[in-house]
Amino acid sequence: MRSTVRTLDGRICPPGMCERCFERGKLVPAEIVHHITHITPENINDPSVTLSFGNLMRVCRDCHADLHYGGSGYTPRVSFDENGRVIPLA
């Protein structure tokens, strides 16, 4: 992951917590490892993008959706239950 995530007052993001939420003063469990520089067909073979810990951050599902779809009007069509089964959204 990125180097240690700190707030302006020097607090360090605890392991397993969403880095974006922590920067906003909330402790939310991370569920996804997000590539900061998004993987594209042009950079998929570049290990500095795909494999570098410096290009990864821990995020919760809401932050991950915001990073990828924020402001785009995207509405997910499915969700998943605790067993990983698809749940269609109306």
Q: In this predicted model, which residue has the larger pLDDT, 82 or 70? A: 82
CA distance 84 to 79: 9
Q: Which two tokens stand for residue 20?
A: 């974006």
Per-residue confidence band for 78, with pLDDT thresholds at 50, 70 and 90: confident
Residue spans per domain, the chain? 19-88
The lowest-confidence range among 28-37, 47-56, 71-80 is: 71-80
